Structure 1
């Protein structure tokens, strides 16, 4: 949600503005003032992201107040309100987002709020700290969703969160409503499970809207279609990369490295949803494919140190992967790192014996014998 300060010298108008803004799901009233001087003094304490300012006020007008507030925080978004349209030029001199004529109506907010949200997202994307492409939803190694304000979302019900997880796993396709109802409420009668589904869809839409998360969730006679940008989640970003690239090269190497390092473990933090096993297998397979591509890229460049680091990090997530263990051991052997080879081989040998009751492949055992 966007934190809003309202400054209006007429108390009845201030009260109306407070009610209108307080009812909007993407806005939160941080403070209201009839005095621009008091608003300026309290700004640092309240830290609003948006200021709705009356243009005509005694002692200090809204445009002068906007100038002073922007000296404190140049990213503050300003929306002016006035009964007179003649101040528009001055309003835009201080880069106002919009200019609303009184009395302000709900439809005025519906027009201006999307611009406020978009502006915040664009500014966040331009900050150096945002260059990592941090998504709103983390699916790999955990399952958490943050709203546009960066706050962790609290879902109204567990089934709402599970339904969101399902749509993230299977986006951009028509999902039969009866299948969804059966997946989420397998023990209920059909009519009851479908009723629960309709309620949960409503809760999901409402929660995402209130959090400022932009998705499309449409209903047809047959079911539902969920559409969202791949940038919404870390898994979506991984999927998009793997769909567009058959190998890592100079153009996509930075993004490949970011997607590799963003992986933190099993899909949805290992949550045991009845339907999620195949989705979790898909995510793990994409991660393994990315590691192979990155390792090949580093080897082509003669960067064995980065190739070994990539494999070590991957094996921290998938320690039993035979192909990747063998590749790391080959890199140790090629570099003449006898001690590193034997330490890793012996650890892998113990793990296979303890977990699966088997031995490493014959070729790796043969190399180890030659190095001892």
Structure 2
């Protein structure tokens, strides 16, 4: 279990941390003398239990606990205090236990065992073993689909972008300052920080509904996505192309052509994805070119050439190769129609004309 300790006395924090290590079963991931910092940690991190002092300056532990449980209704509270008069109020807000200082090791053992027997904690301990057949589609648009095949609805567009951003980094921990710069470049640090905290909270809530135990990790001011079980269309294409060998099988060509529905996050205005978008696009085009050279099936070859033309509709060579294929298979009308469409496209978009090589091919086709 992941725990944080909250007490305005530094010595009390150190003693409780030592006891937790001796008893075992709890990993202390943070100690806080300021309850507001602790509330921020509950919002940003995956925490199972908070050991919380009651008598603290500014805001007492009872109010702090209520705020924490509003932020994360799965967090458990164990009050640690030198006074017993708060016991009734503590259990009224569903505290797991109430420890009196000085804490005895045997008493702490009972508390930790009680925590381990709590149904929600038992679920958390087993969640990492679950299989999550959820899927990401990021070729064309960007969408996350649950195990029922239904698209996940995002609270805000920035929550969606934060998920896409962290997933793009494939589990790498990214500093919060870089995230704010990439996602909120035009906002002040304070405003961007507030929006980041809100988006992280909403993202965690969304992914927890999909049964991910600790979907967003936070450590050393860095965030990382922890959803390795997800599959994606772009990874399937990368893996398929990487493992391909010549001659490339028709089955692989069919799979790649079917899967590539557009550029990586091409319908999203995510500037930080532009470099990877370019790499995936170039990898796909190379695959099409190699597959076209090796392909003996005329129907599949036609689809490959059509896709190459779609990827670069202003290039004479792509149009020429597709026209030449139509001519070689006896489909002259398609070759002529393609030329006219290409000529019109260049005139409308670039105010140019097809080059002499393709014009000559058109003249030859017109005479057939």
- What TM-score do you get using the length of structure 2 for normalisation? 0.58
CA contact (8 A) 2:127 2:212 kept: no
Structure 1 residues 213, 324: closer, same or farther in 2, change over 3 A? farther
Matching of residues 34-53 of structure 1 within 5 Å:
none
Q: Is 1:263–2:257 an aligned residue pair?
A: no
Structure 1 residues 278, 296: closer, same or farther in 2, change over 3 A? same
Which of 117, 120, 123 in structure 2 is aligned with 1:109?
123
Residue matched to 2:204: 205
Residue matched to 1:153: 152
2:220 aligned counterpart, secondary structure: coil
Residue matched to 1:177: 176
- What TM-score do you get using the length of structure 1 for normalisation? 0.57
Residue matched to 2:357: 363
Which of 326, 336, 339 in structure 2 is aligned with 1:342?
336
Matching of residues 23-38 of structure 1 within 5 Å:
none
Instruction: Say what the alpha-carbon RMSD is for the aligned residues.
Output: 3.4
How far apart, in 2, do the equivalents of 1:350 and 1:310 lie?
23
CA contact (8 A) 2:233 2:259 kept: yes
CA contact (8 A) 1:175 1:223 kept: yes
Structure 1 residues 211, 256: closer, same or farther in 2, change over 3 A? farther
How far apart, in 1, do the equivalents of 2:213 and 2:355 lie?
49
- What does the per-residue CA deviation read over 1:6-44, in whole Å, with 9 as the maximum and x for residues that have no partner? xxxxxxxxxxxxxxxxx98xxxxxxxxxxxxxxxxxxxx
Question: Which ranges in structure 1 are unaligned for 5 or more consecutive residues?
Answer: 1-22, 25-102, 122-134
Residue matched to 2:348: 354
1:219 aligned counterpart, secondary structure: strand
CA contact (8 A) 1:147 1:212 kept: no
How far apart, in 1, do the equivalents of 2:264 and 2:339 lie?
29
- Determine which structure has more spread, i.e. the larger CA radius of gyration: 2
Structure 1 residues 328, 254: closer, same or farther in 2, change over 3 A? same
CA contact (8 A) 1:338 1:371 kept: yes
CA contact (8 A) 1:136 1:145 kept: yes
Residue matched to 1:233: 232
How far apart, in 1, do the equivalents of 2:125 and 2:282 lie?
44
Which of 326, 330, 339 in structure 1 is aligned with 2:324?
330
CA contact (8 A) 2:309 2:318 kept: yes
1:171 aligned counterpart, secondary structure: coil
Give how far 1:165 is off: 1.9
Residue correspondences, number: 253
Give how far 1:153 is off: 0.9
